[in-house]
Amino acid sequence: MLRSYFADMHIHIGRDMYGQPVKITGSKNLTLTHVLQEASRNKGIDLIGVIDCQSPAVQTEIKQLLSTGHATELSEGGIRFEAVTLILGSEIEIYDEHCQGPIHVLCYFPTLNHMDLFSKWLTDHMKNITLSSQRYYGSAKRLQYKVKELEGLFILAHVFTPFKSTYGKGVKKSLTEVFDPDLIDGIELGLSSDTEMADHIKELHDYTFLTNSDAHSLAKIAREYQMIQMLEPTFKEFQWALHHINDRRITKNYGMNPLLGKYYTTVCHQCLTSLSPNARTCSNCQSKKVTKGVADRIQELSDTDRSAEQRPPYLHQVPLEYLPKLGPKTYTNLLQKFKTEMFVIHEATQEDLETVVSKKLAQTIIDMRHGHLSIEAGGGGKYGRLK
């Protein structure tokens, strides 16, 4: 069996998981080819989900890569480009009559043909298919049936984020208000939660947790990811891993410490004053725009203290570039010596690391490998930081 790394990515300039507009920074354009190159060459990711594949521009680029021989379709699903396998996905916004607010979901398909059929179906249910995370006009269950009909995977995206998520504002109490629970293949946790927190909700115990963050820049690819035990990086193996078939499974989740997240606690959207979990108006500026923190929302929904059986460990990590004292020059040196970020984070020995970076930084990288980074909690609308 192989240890594969899976991460997930938005291509287009759009809105992030909190509904905020995102600016793309960095020298390269955020095209599919650049995403695949970065994932394969620098990050060392084996599987990457790109969730704008319903867009005609992205599909055209995939077809070009295939026709020029830069990429090949795998018989077990997925598209291989250099060392990385692309998993074709689409992020959809649902707001049917059972939703309390808009909900984001992820749909993944095995082949370009399946994705193509899905896009055609979507055009009749959407206003503008060229944008990412577009509103779908139809019921959540209808969408689930379509995805299953096309042999796809249906995953609830960043389920706790205050905006556009299942538990954020989408449902009152339970995902069954909106979805058919038997047609959900996985639950994506998102930046401000981890396994321990999410397991306080009993109905989630039946599902595999995914740690992905929709990276909107090349540098942020694999800000969160998972280690998967599989034979080779393909769609079918990924599907098996989500359902623990033939010993395929997620063996570790890597994500940011929820305390580093900006929306861990409840804050005023206007002036960022920290508020009590049930505040309706801001005590400082009287604004009624209160953003309920992820921790407070989970507390509210919590119905068990037992954790699910067989959860893989969740390790708190950050991308290399977030580490104190690791500037662009050091980053380049590390990649020159070790080729990929995944190799630096998981494989390089302390001794080898010390040939490129200081003893202290080498130790920090080793500490991070084992999930022992020390952080200062965020809150009040500010990100936490590493000590």
**Interacting span for Zn ion (CB under 5 A) from 9-17, 138-146, 197-205, 294-302:** 9-17
Q: Which is nearer to Zn ion, 268 or 373 (CB)?
A: 268
Query: Is position 271 an interface residue for Zn ion (rule: CB under 5 A)?
Result: yes
Q: How far is the CB of 1 from Zn ion (least distance, A)?
A: 31
Tokens of residue 185, six digits = 């293949």
Strands 225-230 and 2-9: antiparallel
User: Minimum Å distance from CB 49 to Zn ion?
Assistant: 13
Q: How far is the CB of 300 from Zn ion (least distance, A)?
A: 21
Compute the distance between CA of residue 53 and CA of residue 262 in angstroms, rounded to an integer: 29
Placement of tokens 């998993």 in the chain = 87
Q: Does 9 bind Zn ion (CB under 5 A)?
A: no
Residue 292 CB, nearest distance to Zn ion (Å)?
14
Q: Is 2 in the site for Zn ion (CB under 5 A)?
A: no
Burial of 200 (0-12, 13-18, 19+ CB in 10 A): middle
Say if strands 249-255 and 186-188 run parallel, antiparallel, or are unpaired.
Answer: unpaired
- Name which position in 45, 204, 230, 268 contacts Zn ion (CB under 5 A): 268
The answer to whether residue 245 forms part of the interface with Zn ion (CB under 5 A) is no
* Closer Cβ to Zn ion, 142 or 289, answer by number: 289
Q: Contact, 5 vs 228, CB < 8 A?
A: yes
Q: Phi and psi for 233 in degrees, rounded to 5?
A: -75, 95
Does 284 engage in binding with Zn ion (CB under 5 A)?
yes
In whole angstroms, give the CA distance from residue 362 to residue 188.
Answer: 31
Kindly state whether residue 187 participates in binding Zn ion, applying the rule CB under 5 A.
no
Is residue 287 a contact residue for Zn ion (CB under 5 A)? yes
**Residues in region 13-42 near Zn ion by CB under 5 A:** 17
Nearer to Zn ion, 25 or 283 (CB): 283
Beta strands at 225-230 and 249-255: parallel, antiparallel or unpaired: antiparallel
Does 10 help bind Zn ion (rule: CB under 5 A)?
Answer: no
Using rule CB under 5 A, residue 285 touches Zn ion: yes
DSSP 127-193: S-TTSTTEEE-S-HHHHHHHHHHTT-EEEE-STT-SSSSIIIII-SS-GGGTS-GGG--EEE--TT-
What is the nearest approach in angstroms of Zn ion to the Cβ of residue 287?
4
Site for Zn ion, residues 145 to 164, rule: CB under 5 A: 157
Which of 12, 43, 80, 104 lies at the binding interface for Zn ion (CB under 5 A)?
104
Distance linking the first and last C-alpha atoms of the chain: 37
Instruction: Name the site residues for Zn ion (rule: CB under 5 A).
Output: 17, 104, 157, 268, 270-271, 273, 282, 284-285, 287
